[in-house]
Amino acid sequence: MSCSNLTMLVSSKPSLSDPSNLSFRSVLNPFQLPSQNPTSCTPSRSSTTQIQCGLRELRTRIDSVKNTQKITEAMKLVAAAKVRRAQEAVVNGRPFSETLVEVLYNINEQLLTEDVDIPLTKVRPVKKVALVVVTGDRGLCGGFNNAIIKKAEARIRELKELGLEFTVISVGKKGNSYFIRRPYIPVDRFLEGGTLPTAKEAQAIADDVFSLFVSEEVDKVELLYTKFVSLVKSDPVIHTLLPLSPKGEICDVNGVCVDAAEDEFFRLTTKEGKLTVERDVVRTKTADFSPILQFEQDPVQILDALLPLYLNSQVLRALQESLASELAARMSAMSNATDNAIELKKNLSIVYNRERQAKITGEILEIVAGANALQ
Amino acid sequence: IREARDYDHWRSCLSTNSGQIGVLPNHAPIATVIDIGILRIHLKDQWLTMALMGGFARINNNEIIVLVNDAEKDSDIDPQDAQQTLEIAKANLNKAEGKRQTIEANLALRRARTRVEAINVIS
């Protein structure tokens, strides 16, 4: 508006015959026009060069957001691939778990009339509890690590209220760094998590837990990990790891037991073009126990050897579920980040185009005003 | 799960905690504990040796199912690394204090010794 008024003012001047006045007006015009445009475009009153800097900064920021979007999208795809691999690891471990549970069941039947005394199933009055806390190694996975750490903190508070001692075995870098910064929480051991859980890692945890329990330093061992429910939902849970139930059941803190033979597993499928998870109960065929099967050793001895295997498989299962949950959480987090980046890029582009148009309009007005001044 | 299936000339040796046992074709069905020790399988005129870290085995219908926490083929084991681990395990056992550390040190020593034996087995 101000530019338009100025133009009209200039056009009325040619009617005057005094050349000196006209010359004076021409000198004024170039001076006023640049000062008007910066005021309307940016708060800072600057020359035309600053407008260029503003546009260049916007362009740089748009490129930066675009790069971030590429990174988060790549991370999302990598996490999706790893979830599939984690699922395959669980499937590969199924025959072992099923055979183990089957053998435990059969041997347990033969022991119904006998009094079994096995260290790992001995139920003692609980004075001290060990908590095995399974966290991830890296961030950028939403509230995954925080959720399990909060669960551990809540459990620690409960144990304190009950007047029980406790110690923590921390698995994973995120948990390690958390507990290192809190000296008031007693930590028995810090263990590294791997990129893909293996029997060796589960063995390290199981060995630690085994020696703690058998040497009677603790009376109960609880396993805190994130149970994989679906690609969009994970559930931090607490399972009692030791003492073991001879029948191979999984018991939670409240004593609710679920038969471990009901081995659900998650399966990634493409349903209507989207990744979905279906939980399915599939049993691998295993040969029936032969009625004439002989036991090389006393059934109690066999059970004594089988239960550590079972302990190890439980720990491995927890590690695998925790990893799958972490990857699913990372998938979700990176997907959200990608969507945010796309929206931000769109908004920045709008601002950039608007500023560019304003700059061009300003330049055109300058040219028109200059042309009119020359008449 | 590692399985050795039905072949005419197969046989295997297992270390159980009541001594080693040999399994030939048409063996009677048994279930046994596997100690930390060596598994040897003879199949098609060659022996395969593995170090097992404790577990369970079931023999049924000319089929052996071995469930173990961990297993390593002799070809996968690095001789120098295994020997070094054995020396370290021996030293740790001497320094072990308390019941718990002794249990841990004993387990580590037995595992390390088995890995060394798997390499040096004489057939």
Asked if the Cβ–Cβ distance from B28 to A294 is below 8 Å, we say yes
Residue B4's pLDDT band (cuts 50, 70, 90) = very low
What's residue A115's pLDDT?
Answer: 59
Over range B94-104, report the average pLDDT. Answer: 81
Residue B35's pLDDT band (cuts 50, 70, 90) = confident
Over range A352-363, report the average pLDDT. Answer: 94
Pick the residue of A97, A211, A216 with the most B CBs within 10 A to test the interface with B by mutation. Answer: A211
What's residue A38's pLDDT?
Answer: 38
Pick the residue of B56, B61, B109 with the most A CBs within 10 A to test the interface with A by mutation. Answer: B56
Residue A353's pLDDT band (cuts 50, 70, 90) = very high
Q: Are residues B33 and B84 in the same domain?
A: no
What's residue A15's pLDDT?
Answer: 35
How large a percentage of chain A has pLDDT more than 70?
70
Asked if the Cβ–Cβ distance from A308 to B69 is below 8 Å, we say yes
**Chain A residues closer than 8 Å to B37 by CB:** none
Rounded to whole angstroms, the Cα distance separating B27 from B64 reads 10
Task: Please say if the pLDDT value at position B90 is more than 50.
Answer: yes
What's residue A152's pLDDT?
Answer: 93
Do you find a cis peptide bond into A243, omega within 30 degrees of 0? Answer: yes
Rounded to whole angstroms, the Cα distance separating A240 from A88 reads 26
Output the domain CATH number for residue B33.
2.60.15.10
Q: Are residues B7 and B52 in the same domain?
A: yes
Structure token pair of residue A300: 């109690």
Query: Count of domains in chain B?
Result: 2
Among A99, A95, A103, residue whose Cα is nearest residue A246: A103
Task: Please say if the pLDDT value at position A324 is more than 90.
Answer: no
B4 strand-pairing partners: B64
Over range A5-30, report the average pLDDT. Answer: 36
- Residue A62 makes CB contacts below 8 A (sequence gap 6+) with A345, A348, A349, A352
When CB atoms are compared, the residue of B1, B54, B61 closest to A305 is B54
The torsion of the CA quartet A323, A329, A330, A332, rounded to 10 degrees, works out to 150
**Chain B residues closer than 8 Å to A97 by CB:** none
Which segment, A257-271, A342-356, B64-78, is predicted with the most confidence on average?
A: A342-356
Check if A141 is active-site: yes
Structure token pair of residue A311: 């302990």
Asked if the Cβ–Cβ distance from B100 to A308 is below 8 Å, we say no
Q: Are A90 and A359 in contact (CB under 8 A)?
A: no
Instruction: Give kind and range of the element (H or E) at residue B23.
Output: strand B19-23
Instruction: Name the least confident of A26-35, A241-250, A332-341.
Output: A26-35
Distance from CA of A204 to the nearest CA of B (A): 11
Q: Provide the greatest CA pair distance for chain B.
A: 51
Over range A275-290, report the average pLDDT. Answer: 49
Tokens 């081995």 -> residue: A263
What's residue A43's pLDDT?
Answer: 37
Chain A residues whose C-beta is within 8 A of a chain B C-beta are 95-96, 99-100, 103, 107, 199-200, 203, 206-207, 211-212, 214-215, 217, 287, 289-290, 292-297, 301-302, 304-306, 308-309, 312
Residue A14's pLDDT band (cuts 50, 70, 90) = very low
* Region of residue A277 (phi > 0: left; psi between -120 and 50: alpha; otherwise: beta): beta
Rounded to whole angstroms, the Cα distance separating A135 from A148 reads 7
Q: Are residues B69 and B85 in the same domain?
A: no
β-pairing, A187-191 vs A165-171, is parallel
Task: Please say if the pLDDT value at position A273 is more than 60.
Answer: no
Residue A245's pLDDT band (cuts 50, 70, 90) = low
Among A252, A243, A255, A248, residue whose Cα is nearest residue A119: A243
Q: Are A310 and A248 in contact (CB under 8 A)?
A: yes
What's residue B122's pLDDT?
Answer: 61
Asked if the Cβ–Cβ distance from A287 to B29 is below 8 Å, we say no
Over range A287-314, report the average pLDDT. Answer: 73
Q: Are residues B37 and B54 in the same domain?
A: yes
Question: Which residue of chain A is at minimal alpha-carbon distance from B17?
Answer: A297
What's residue A35's pLDDT?
Answer: 36
When CB atoms are compared, the residue of B30, B100, B103 closest to A294 is B30
What's residue A275's pLDDT?
Answer: 43
Asked if the Cβ–Cβ distance from B69 to A203 is below 8 Å, we say yes
Domain A65-284+304-338: CATH class, spelled out: alpha beta
Distance from CA of A189 to the nearest CA of B (A): 14
Cβ pairs bridging A and B (under 8 Å): 91
Q: Are residues B11 and B69 in the same domain?
A: yes
Asked if the Cβ–Cβ distance from B61 to A214 is below 8 Å, we say no
What's residue A360's pLDDT?
Answer: 95
Over range A263-274, report the average pLDDT. Answer: 37
Over range A332-346, report the average pLDDT. Answer: 93
Q: Are residues B58 and B21 in the same domain?
A: yes
Q: Are residues B59 and B80 in the same domain?
A: no
Q: Are residues B23 and B51 in the same domain?
A: yes
Q: Are A142 and A332 in contact (CB under 8 A)?
A: yes
Task: Please say if the pLDDT value at position B54 is more than 60.
Answer: yes
Pick the residue of A100, A210, A290 with the most B CBs within 10 A to test the interface with B by mutation. Answer: A290
Q: Are residues B54 and B23 in the same domain?
A: yes
Task: Please say if the pLDDT value at position A33 is more than 60.
Answer: no
Q: Are residues B87 and B107 in the same domain?
A: yes
Asked if the Cβ–Cβ distance from A212 to B100 is below 8 Å, we say yes
Chain B residues whose C-beta is within 8 A of a chain A C-beta are 1, 16-18, 21, 28-34, 53-56, 58, 60-61, 63, 65, 67-70, 98-100, 103-104, 107
Asked if the Cβ–Cβ distance from A200 to B31 is below 8 Å, we say no
Q: Are residues B90 and B48 in the same domain?
A: no
Pick the residue of A296, A298, A310 with the most B CBs within 10 A to test the interface with B by mutation. Answer: A296
When CB atoms are compared, the residue of B16, B28, B67 closest to A96 is B67
What's residue A288's pLDDT?
Answer: 55
Look up the domain containing B50 and give its range. Answer: 2-74
Over range A322-341, report the average pLDDT. Answer: 91
Asked if the Cβ–Cβ distance from A309 to B100 is below 8 Å, we say no
Please give the mean pLDDT across all residues of chain A: 74
Instruction: Give kind and range of the element (H or E) at residue A323.
Output: helix A299-374
Q: Are B37 and B52 in contact (CB under 8 A)?
A: yes
Q: Are A137 and A172 in contact (CB under 8 A)?
A: yes
Which segment, A93-102, A162-171, A185-194, B39-48, is predicted with the most confidence on average?
A: A162-171
Q: Give residue limits of the domains in chain A.
A: 65-284+304-338
What's residue A21's pLDDT?
Answer: 37
* Region of residue A312 (phi > 0: left; psi between -120 and 50: alpha; otherwise: beta): alpha
Task: Please say if the pLDDT value at position B41 is more than 90.
Answer: no
Residue A267's pLDDT band (cuts 50, 70, 90) = very low
Instruction: Give kind and range of the element (H or E) at residue A107.
Output: helix A48-110
Distance from CA of B21 to the nearest CA of A (A): 10
Over range A100-111, report the average pLDDT. Answer: 72
Task: Please say if the pLDDT value at position A2 is more than 70.
Answer: no
Residue A283's pLDDT band (cuts 50, 70, 90) = very low
Over range B54-78, report the average pLDDT. Answer: 81
Instruction: Name the least confident of A48-52, A313-317, B77-81, B109-113.
Output: A48-52
Q: Are residues B11 and B37 in the same domain?
A: yes
When CB atoms are compared, the residue of B16, B98, B99 closest to A296 is B16
Over range B115-121, report the average pLDDT. Answer: 82
